Each structure stands twice: as C-alpha cells, then as structure tokens.
C-alpha cells in the first residue's frame, strides 16, 4: 500500500483528501504544518507528499526544500494562489505538479496516480548503454538523466528533464501544445495549459545560450531545432 503524507493547516482539506485517497487504496498520514511534516518524514517512508503552500511556522516552499534534502520524493503542491511566480518557484524546487484551490478531489486523485506511475517507470528504466545526444556545448545523457552546458552540469526539475528529453527525441518535428501536454505529462491535462509555457521558460533558463534550440511555433506549439 502506497504511503502518502498530506500537509495542510486546514483540517477540512486533509479530511477530503484522506477520504478520497483511502477509497483509492492509499494510506494517509496527516501533518498540520511544515515542521510536523518534516518530523514525520524523517520517521516514515512516503511515496508521495501533498503539500500546501500557505501554512504557519514553515511555508510549503521551505518545507519542500527541507524534504528534498532527506529524500527525493514526488511532491504535489496545493495553493489558493495561481500566480505564475508561485508555480515557477515550486517547479524550481522539484515539485511534480501544482494544483490550485479549490480543486476537484477526483482530479487530484488522478494527478496522484499519474505522478507516482511516472516516477515508478523512471526508476525501473535500465540499460547497458548510455544514450547520449550532443550538439554544440549541449550534452544530454538520457540514461543517467544528466544535462551539461559547456561542460557544466545543469540541475533541472524532473519535468524539465522529461520535456527536454521528449523534444530532443522528436527534434525537427513541430510539436503541438496538446501533444506535448499529453505525452510529457502522461494524461489529458485538465489544469491550466500555461503550465507548459512555464516549463518551457524554466527550460530555456537552464539551457542558457542553447535556449535558441527551443523554437516557438506561434499558434501551434514548439520544436527542438539545433
């Protein structure tokens, strides 16, 4: 049974998530704030963390940063704020998804299933040979999930890696926004499709001068073109 830590200072939110998650077959552990979450995270092994942004004592962003130091566990962030800055900051910290309150419990369950399934598939990938792509000073090691720019290793969020790898493997092809969202996120995305633009912006920042390889196709989507 998958173990999930739900961190939110609103008891009503925790109760709703617990009700639906337990129906899906998950075991739920609750925490009222970031400090309690970190304490429980050190004592138990969790498969996923659902984390609210606005909390007393320690906010969600700071809590996420501390949790990631202990273990790289998938994180879905909840927030009543849908500002782009908050989403970018969350993805920079390595979260896997961002859900704006109020949310549909059924949609949250779907997102949880997808995030854990995707992480499980990534962890099970094995290969005897390293699949590497090089162009100019950009080197992408698909097998080790390592990206270097002019010899310097670049630290990216999990979704940045997924997006870059997908675009490189489909380089030269015009990729519609719908196809990118469906294939990279792994499901028909019901949220704000600006999430894709946010990740493209993050990815361009990570690639430095090689951001020019991510070409915007107005009214269509994007293309990787080296």
pLDDT tens track for 115-134: 887 766 555 444 445 688 99
Which residues have CB under 8 Å from 23's CB, separation 6+? Answer: none
For 3-124, which CATH superfamily applies? Answer: Response regulator (3.40.50.2300)
Q: What is the pLDDT of residues 42-69, one digit of tens each?
A: 999 999 999 999 998 899 999 999 998 8
How far, in Å, are 14, 64, 80, 97 from residue 91 at the CA level? 23, 11, 16, 8
In the chain, residues under CATH classification 3.40.50.2300 are 3-124
Please state whether the predicted TM-score (pTM) of the whole model is above 0.85.
no
- State residue 126's pLDDT score: 45
Residue 184 has pLDDT above 60, yes or no: yes
- Looking at the chain, the whole-number percentage of residues with pLDDT higher than 90 is 54
- Looking at the chain, the whole-number percentage of residues with pLDDT higher than 70 is 91
Mean pLDDT of 125-149: 80
| Long-range contacts formed by 150-156: CB under 8 A, 24+ apart | 150/208, 154/206, 154/207, 155/206, 156/202, 156/203, 156/206
- State residue 191's pLDDT score: 53
Angle at Cα 68 formed by Cα 35 and Cα 58, nearest 5°?
A: 25
- State residue 159's pLDDT score: 86
- State residue 121's pLDDT score: 56
In the chain, residues under CATH classification 1.10.10.10 are 132-224
| Long-range contacts formed by 131-139: CB under 8 A, 24+ apart | 133/168, 135/210, 135/213, 135/226, 136/210, 136/226, 137/210, 138/207, 138/210, 138/213, 138/226
3-state secondary structure 137-153: CEEEECCCCEEEECCEE
Q: How confident is the model at residue 164 (pLDDT cuts 50, 70, 90)?
A: very high
Q: Is 218 exposed, middle or buried (0-12, 13-18, 19+ CB in 10 A)?
A: exposed
- State residue 85's pLDDT score: 81
- State residue 127's pLDDT score: 47
Task: Give the whole-angstrom CA distance, residue 80 versus residue 86.
Answer: 10
Q: Does domain 132-224 have CATH number 3.40.50.720?
A: no
If you average pLDDT over every residue of the chain, what do you get? 87
């Amino acid at each position: 049974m998958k173990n999930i830590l739900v961190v939110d200072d609103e008891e009503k939110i925790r109760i709703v998530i617990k009700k639906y998650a337990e129906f899906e077959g998950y075991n739920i552990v609750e925490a009222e704030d970031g400090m309690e979450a970190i304490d429980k995270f050190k004592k138990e092994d969790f498969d996923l963390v659902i984390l609210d942004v606005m909390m007393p004592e320690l906010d969600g962003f700071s809590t996420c940063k501390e949790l990631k130091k202990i273990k790289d566990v998938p994180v879905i962030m909840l927030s009543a704020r849908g500002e782009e800055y908050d989403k970018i900051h969350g993805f920079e910290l390595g979260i896997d998804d961002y859900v704006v309150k109020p949310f549909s419990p059924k949609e949250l369950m779907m997102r949880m299933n997808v995030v854990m399934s995707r992480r499980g598939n990534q962890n099970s990938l094995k290969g005897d040979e390293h699949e590497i792509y090089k162009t100019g000073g950009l080197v992408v090691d698909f097998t080790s999930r390592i990206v270097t720019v002019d010899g310097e290793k670049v630290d990216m969020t999990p979704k940045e890696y997924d997006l870059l790898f997908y675009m490189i493997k489909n380089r030269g092809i015009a990729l519609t926004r719908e196809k990118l969202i469906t294939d990279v996120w792994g499901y028909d995305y019901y949220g704000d499709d600006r999430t894709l633009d946010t990740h493209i912006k993050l990815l361009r920042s990570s690639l430095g001068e090689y951001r020019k390889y991510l070409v915007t196709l107005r009214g269509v989507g994007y293309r990787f073109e080296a």
